[in-house]
Amino acid sequence: MLDPLLAGGRAAPPRTLVDVLADVTARHPDAPALDDTRTVLTYAQLSEQAVRMAGELVGAGVRRGDRVGVRVPSGTIDLYVAILGILHAGAAYVPVDVDDPQERADLVFSEATVAA
């Protein structure tokens, strides 16, 4: 008898982080999604802010496949909203730690040819 784990079958459809967030938001809109000790966002609020950020990025000229620099303190709601907004816009994020020297940020963003 064939082991069920080796039997194969249909793979799950591919999902992005944006897809997962949309799914969880639809099922649990009022559940807490993020808490940085100063602010708590529900999934609905997080999704709304990410979509708004995506719109601002697209309005500023960011296009699908572009790279966007991110230099926001770790663990903050702003960081997660920025990342999700960038992904919603179809772009990739290029993170640089906020505590790194400006010269490092300039180098990383230049090497990555960030659009914003």
pLDDT(11) > 80? no
Q: State the Cα torsion 41-81-85-55 to the nearest 10°.
A: 70
**Euclidean distance between CA atoms 48 and 44, whole angstroms:** 6
For residue 10, the model assigns a pLDDT of 79
pLDDT tens digits for range 54-99: 999 999 999 999 999 999 999 899 999 999 999 999 999 999 999 9
Kindly list the structural domains of the chain, giving each domain's residue range(s) and its CATH number in brackets, ordered by start. 17-111 (3.40.50.980)
Q: Where are the alpha helices (DSSP H) in 60-113?
A: 77-88, 102-111
In this structure, are residues 70 and 93 in contact, taking their beta carbons and an 8 Å threshold? Answer: yes
pLDDT(107) > 90? yes
Give the global pTM. Answer: 0.85
Residues in contact with 7: Cβ distance below 8 Å, sequence separation at least 6, in sequence order: none
**Euclidean distance between CA atoms 32 and 71, whole angstroms:** 25
